[in-house]
């Protein structure tokens, strides 16, 4: 956690020190209050004391209280400023770090974990800082100061306070030991309840088709019982808390008064009055001590959680970026649009097996190269090496004759129009989604966008939408169908006007007919661009200039559809599973 605190700058530290000083002042004022209280008490008690003096002391006490309030307000203002700006800074740092991470690292962390690290974990830290600045500093100061004020008064009273603190702490600790592990279990059970409900709702057709309603309800009921019992235990344990606190506070006062009565009784006349005043003051100091221990206990409950959060944040911030930027910005070459793999092998840094072994091929400008093979054969990995989502382990990938590692990444990405397997949609409009990003050629005109959507066979449905090109697209594209998303995602690549297209199984959600028309139009529109296509369907790729057949990371055949049918067994097998012999012969 302290590592994270290095993100405080000088100004922050100045303000933190400022806040600490103010808190010290505040504690001083707070502890003056009982002094004035006792003075007032004595004055009220003794006959003949003048009203003026009572008013004077009352005024001082109010001034102290007001001073304490004002400094608390200033501290609150400073603390919330510090904590909010701290979380803003760390969040920013984390966010841009995630943007720099390679896909491999992102996968290792998992996207959802990165999201919680950027949101919840930072909120945890922020809460600790804003609470902590006030409590962590205030509570111990108050406790120590109040104790020193108490100590020289009377040992019997001090002993009672010590006992009360002990009872308080042991109650809290026992509760923590008892309840904390069960809290985790409750979280798990809530997840389970959620899961069972999700199952039931997402599989509602299956549940009903199998007449399994009772089965589901029983399953839910069982988990529900477990959850309820666990919750009951926790909450029952916790309902001890408030009465115990109540008892400690009141019994402490009572004990101080009871002991006080006996002490006063045997004291000399002149001591009696002083002792009485002391007693009243003492009981209010004792409350302060108890309260500060309570606050400390609260902080100690918060720290472990914040600690875990801080570790999770640091883990990301300190992770090494594996993809280093190159420095080539400008290329003038006649090799524009070529993609070449030279004896490329790839494996994950911590893996033993290679995912790709000795892959070599060259695509010239305007050519279409297709990749086919079963899942896990390495098709997607292969094309992910081109935009440097991963870096090769051996060999090299050349674009326009230059190793992709030597490019500045922006420049490299400007050459590529990449369409992922799963279409990604951003919150915005059809237009903003298609025009997404920066291709180094300035803003994309409406004409380009409309053209791109038309080529991607999206014109018809987009124009039917409310607001047509300005129609709202929800986050993740939940308001358009899978096929529509895929078409918009293809349009995005077209609008980018790249040298090289990469389609990572990007036609899977389209029906055969749309798939066919789209590819035909695309071919016409992108005559000069190189296309690399990964696909499952033979129909999608059989007209490619070159087809590479992959099996377990190795190239087992490369050639045209007809050539491969003759001399590549794996390809033939795939083809036969999708088309009948007769249809293949028809070609």
Partner 1 sequence: MNRRGGTDKSKNFGQSIKRLFSELRSFRILIVIALVFAVSGSVLSIVAPNKLSKLTDTISSGLVVNQEKFESISNTINRKLANIDVNAVLNSYKLDELEKQEFLNTMLSVDTNKSEEFIKNLMDLSENTLNIILPKFSIENEEISTQDQVKFIRIFSTLENHDVSQVYKKIDECPKSIRNIVKPFMDLDKVKKISIFLGLLYLTSALLNFFEGIIMTVVSNNFARKLRNRISVKINKLPLSYFDKNQTGDVLSRVTNDVDTIAQSMNQSLASLVSATTLLVGTVLMMFITNYLMAITAIVASLIGFVFMFMILSKSQKYFRARQEELGRLNSHIEEVYSGLLVVKAYNGKEEANSKFDEINKKVFDANRKSQFLAGIMQPMMMFIGNFGYVAVCVVGALLTVNGSITFGVIVAFITYVRLFTSPLAEIAQAMNSMQSTAAASERVFEFLDEQEMDTEENVVKVLDKNKVKGNIEFDHVRFSYDESRIIINDFSAKATQGQKIAIVGPTGAGKTTMVNLLMKFYEINSGDIKIDGVSTKELSRENIHNLFTMVLQDTWLFNGTVRENIIYNRVNVTEEKIKEVCDTVGLTHFIKTLPQGFDTDISQSDSVSAGQRQLLTIARGMIEDAPFLILDEATSNVDTRTEELVQHAMDKLMEGRTSFIIAHRLSTIKNADLILVMKDGNIVETGSHDELMEKKGFYAELYNSQFEL
Cβ atoms of residues 379 and 552 within 8 Å = no
Q: What are phi and psi of 550, to 5 degrees?
A: -110, 140
Binding range to partner 1, per CB under 8 A, among 351-359, 413-421, 441-449, 464-472? 413-421
Q: Which of 14, 17, 21, 92 binds partner 1 (CB under 8 A)?
A: 92
Site map (CB under 8 A) of partner 1, residues 128-147, x = contact:
--x---x-------------
For partner 1, the closer CB: 162 or 261: 261
Question: Does residue 511 touch partner 1 according to CB under 8 A?
Answer: yes
Rounded Cα distance between 580 and 332, Å, is 48
The nearest distance, CB 340 to partner 1, in angstroms, is 20
Q: List, as own/partner pairs, every contact residues 469-472 make where C-beta atoms lie below 8 angstroms and the sequence separation is at least 24, other chains included.
A: 469/429, 469/430, 469/431, 470/429, 470/430, 470/431, 471/429, 471/430, 472/428, 472/429
Contacts of residue 96, defined as CB under 8 A and 6 or more positions apart, other chains included, come to none
Question: Does residue 420 touch partner 1 according to CB under 8 A?
Answer: yes
CA dihedral 370, 375, 378, 384 (to 10 degrees): 70
For partner 1, the closer CB: 270 or 330: 270
Q: Which of 294, 298, 424, 448 binds partner 1 (CB under 8 A)?
A: 424
Interacting residues with partner 1 between 233 and 272 (CB under 8 A): 235-236, 239-240, 242-244, 246-247, 250-251, 253-254, 257-258, 260-262, 264-265, 268-270, 272
For partner 1, the closer CB: 96 or 152: 96
Q: Specify which residues 417 forms β-bridges with.
A: 501
Look at residues 381, 377, 421, 340 and name the one whose alpha carbon lies nearest to residue 557.
377
Cβ atoms of residues 498 and 414 within 8 Å = yes
Q: Which of 9, 156, 174, 202 binds partner 1 (CB under 8 A)?
A: 202
Question: Does residue 322 touch partner 1 according to CB under 8 A?
Answer: no
Interacting residues with partner 1 between 173 and 192 (CB under 8 A): 190, 192
Question: Does residue 222 touch partner 1 according to CB under 8 A?
Answer: no
- Counting residues that bind partner 1 (by CB under 8 A) gives 168
Q: Which of 47, 334, 352, 466 binds partner 1 (CB under 8 A)?
A: 47
For partner 1, the closer CB: 63 or 360: 63
The nearest distance, CB 88 to partner 1, in angstroms, is 4
The nearest distance, CB 446 to partner 1, in angstroms, is 18
Q: Which of 13, 17, 69, 173 binds partner 1 (CB under 8 A)?
A: 69
Binding range to partner 1, per CB under 8 A, among 156-164, 307-315, 437-445, 447-455? 437-445
Question: Does residue 459 touch partner 1 according to CB under 8 A?
Answer: no
Question: Does residue 415 touch partner 1 according to CB under 8 A?
Answer: no
Contacts of residue 231, defined as CB under 8 A and 6 or more positions apart, other chains included, come to 186
The nearest distance, CB 334 to partner 1, in angstroms, is 25
Cβ atoms of residues 457 and 524 within 8 Å = no
* Spatial strand order in the sheet of 530-534: 416-419, 500-504, 530-534, 368-372, 546-551, 554-559
Q: Which of 5, 300, 426, 469 binds partner 1 (CB under 8 A)?
A: 426
Question: Does residue 317 touch partner 1 according to CB under 8 A?
Answer: no
The nearest distance, CB 95 to partner 1, in angstroms, is 5
Binding range to partner 1, per CB under 8 A, among 148-156, 158-166, 206-214, 301-309? 206-214
Rounded Cα distance between 148 and 397, Å, is 73
For partner 1, the closer CB: 61 or 430: 61
Task: Indicate the SS3 state at residue 437.
Answer: coil
Binding range to partner 1, per CB under 8 A, among 51-59, 141-149, 156-164, 392-400? 51-59
CA dihedral 481, 485, 487, 493 (to 10 degrees): 180
Residue 489, CA distances (Å) to 167, 293, 459, 476 in order? 65, 59, 13, 12
Question: Does residue 197 touch partner 1 according to CB under 8 A?
Answer: yes
Rounded Cα distance between 277 and 39, Å, is 7
Q: Supply the DSSP symbol for 120.
A: I
Question: Does residue 316 touch partner 1 according to CB under 8 A?
Answer: no
Q: Which residue has the tokens 């999700």?
A: 198
For partner 1, the closer CB: 159 or 206: 206
For partner 1, the closer CB: 360 or 573: 573
For partner 1, the closer CB: 236 or 362: 236
Interacting residues with partner 1 between 522 and 541 (CB under 8 A): 523, 536, 539
Rounded Cα distance between 87 and 107, Å, is 25
Give how far the C-alpha of residue 336 lies from the chain's centroid of Cα atoms, to the nearest Å: 41
Q: Supply the DSSP symbol for 544.
A: -
Question: Does residue 232 touch partner 1 according to CB under 8 A?
Answer: yes
Binding range to partner 1, per CB under 8 A, among 7-15, 311-319, 441-449, 481-489? 481-489
Give how far the C-alpha of residue 121 lies from the chain's centroid of Cα atoms, to the nearest Å: 7
Look at residues 486, 480, 491 and name the one whose alpha carbon lies nearest to residue 510.
486
Site map (CB under 8 A) of partner 1, residues 340-379, x = contact:
----------------------------------xxxx--
Q: Which of 108, 319, 429, 508 binds partner 1 (CB under 8 A)?
A: 508
Q: How many CB atoms lie within 10 A of CB 523?
A: 15
Q: What would the two tokens of residue 256 be?
A: 């101080």
Q: What would the two tokens of residue 373 be?
A: 């093979």
Question: Does residue 201 touch partner 1 according to CB under 8 A?
Answer: yes
Rounded Cα distance between 340 and 501, Å, is 14
Q: Which of 8, 220, 361, 469 binds partner 1 (CB under 8 A)?
A: 220
The nearest distance, CB 222 to partner 1, in angstroms, is 11
Rounded Cα distance between 531 and 503, Å, is 8
Question: Does residue 509 touch partner 1 according to CB under 8 A?
Answer: yes
Q: What would the two tokens of residue 285 be?
A: 């100091």
Question: Does residue 382 touch partner 1 according to CB under 8 A?
Answer: no
DSSP string covering 41-53 = HHHHHSTT--HHH
Site map (CB under 8 A) of partner 1, residues 110-129, x = contact:
-x--xx--xx------x---
Look at residues 238, 218, 120, 115 and name the one whose alpha carbon lies nearest to residue 171.
238
Interacting residues with partner 1 between 546 and 585 (CB under 8 A): 573-574, 577, 579-580, 583
């Amino acid at each position: 956690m302290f590592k994270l605190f290095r993100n405080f700058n000088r100004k922050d530290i100045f303000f933190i020190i400022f806040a600490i000083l103010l808190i010290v002042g505040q504690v001083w004022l707070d502890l003056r209050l009982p002094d004035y209280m006792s003075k007032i008490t004595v004055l009220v008690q003794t006959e003949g004391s003048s009203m003026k003096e009572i008013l004077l002391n009352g005024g001082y006490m109010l001034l102290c209280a007001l001073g304490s309030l004002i400094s608390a307000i200033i501290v609150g203002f400073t603390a919330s400023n510090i904590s909010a700006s701290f979380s803003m800074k760390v969040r920013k740092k984390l966010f841009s770090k995630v943007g720099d991470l390679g896909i491999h690292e992102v996968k290792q962390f998992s996207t959802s974990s990165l999201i919680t690290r950027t949101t919840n974990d930072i909120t945890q830290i922020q809460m600790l800082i804003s609470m902590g600045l006030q409590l962590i500093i205030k509570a111990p100061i108050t406790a120590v100061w109040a104790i020193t004020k108490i100590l020289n008064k009377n040992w019997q009273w001090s002993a009672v306070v010590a006992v009360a603190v002990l009872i308080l702490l042991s109650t809290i600790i026992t509760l923590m030991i008892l309840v904390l592990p069960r809290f985790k279990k409750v979280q798990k059970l809530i997840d389970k309840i959620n899961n069972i409900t999700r199952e039931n709702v997402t599989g509602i057709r299956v549940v009903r088709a199998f007449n399994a309603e009772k089965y589901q309800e029983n399953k839910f009921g069982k988990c529900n019982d477990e959850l309820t019992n666990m919750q009951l235990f926790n909450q029952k344990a916790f309902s001890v808390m408030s009465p115990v606190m109540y008892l400690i506070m009141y019994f402490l006062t009572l004990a101080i008064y009871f002991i006080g009565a006996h002490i006063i009784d045997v004291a000399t006349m002149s001591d009696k009055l002083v002792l009485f005043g002391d007693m009243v003051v003492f009981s209010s100091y004792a409350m302060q001590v108890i309260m500060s221990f309570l606050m400390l206990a609260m902080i100690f409950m918060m720290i472990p959680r914040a600690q875990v959060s801080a570790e999770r944040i640091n883990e990301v911030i300190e992770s090494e970026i594996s993809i280093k930027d190159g420095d080539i910005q400008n290329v003038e070459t006649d090799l524009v649009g070529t993609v070449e793999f030279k004896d490329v092998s790839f494996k994950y840094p911590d893996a033993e097996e290679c995912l790709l072994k000795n892959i070599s091929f060259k695509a010239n400008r305007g050519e279409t190269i297709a990749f086919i093979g079963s899942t896990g054969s390495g098709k997607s990995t292969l094309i992910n090496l081109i935009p440097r989502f991963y870096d090769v382990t051996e060999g090299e990938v050349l674009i326009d004759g230059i190793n992709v590692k030597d490019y500045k990444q922006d420049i490299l990405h400007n050459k590529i129009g990449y369409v992922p397997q799963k279409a990604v949609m951003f919150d915005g409009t059809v237009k903003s989604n298609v025009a997404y990003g920066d291709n180094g050629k300035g803003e994309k005109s409406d004409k380009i966008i409309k053209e791109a959507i038309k080529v991607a066979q999206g014109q018809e449905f987009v124009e039917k939408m409310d607001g047509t090109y300005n129609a709202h697209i929800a986050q993740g594209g939940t308001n358009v169908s899978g096929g529509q998303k895929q078409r918009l995602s293809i349009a995005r690549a077209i609008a980018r006007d790249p040298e090289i297209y990469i389609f990572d199984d990007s036609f899977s959600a389209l029906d055969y007919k749309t798939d066919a028309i789209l590819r035909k139009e695309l071919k016409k529109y992108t005559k000069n661009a190189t296309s690399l296509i990964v696909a499952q369907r033979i129909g999608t790729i059989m007209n490619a200039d070159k087809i590479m057949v992959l099996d377990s990371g190795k190239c087992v055949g490369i050639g045209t559809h007809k050539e491969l049918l003759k001399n590549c067994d794996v390809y033939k097998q795939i083809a036969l599973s999708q088309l009948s012999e007769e249809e293949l012969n028809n070609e």
